[in-house]
Amino acid sequence: RILMIIGALVSSITAIMPTFFGKPFLSQYETTLTLPILGHIHVTTITLFELGILFSVVGVIVTVMLSLSGGRS
């Protein structure tokens, strides 16, 4: 259940945030991060949005599986 909430929040914030800066809903921003071991990593807001969707889907699947197995959700 927590994964669904986190996923929904991450996706919603990523989608709505550009409107506060005068950009259209779901606008893309991108940057490059330099990490010591991994080197240069290209990061976009689409990646964060997709990560939120992933968390939501995994949360739903885990909740359904726990419900079907009789475990607690």
Q: What is the DSSP letter of 20?
A: G
Instruction: Give me the number of domains the chain comprises.
Output: 1
Mean pLDDT of 30-49: 88
Structural domain that includes position 16:
2-69
CA atoms within 13 A on the CB side of 49: 15
Indicate whether 71 pLDDT > 70.
no
Task: Give the 3-state secondary structure of residue 52.
Answer: helix
Q: What is the mean pLDDT of residues 7-28?
A: 89
Note the pTM of the prediction, 2 decimals. 0.75
> Amino acid identity, residue 32?
T
- pLDDT exceeds 90 at position 42: no
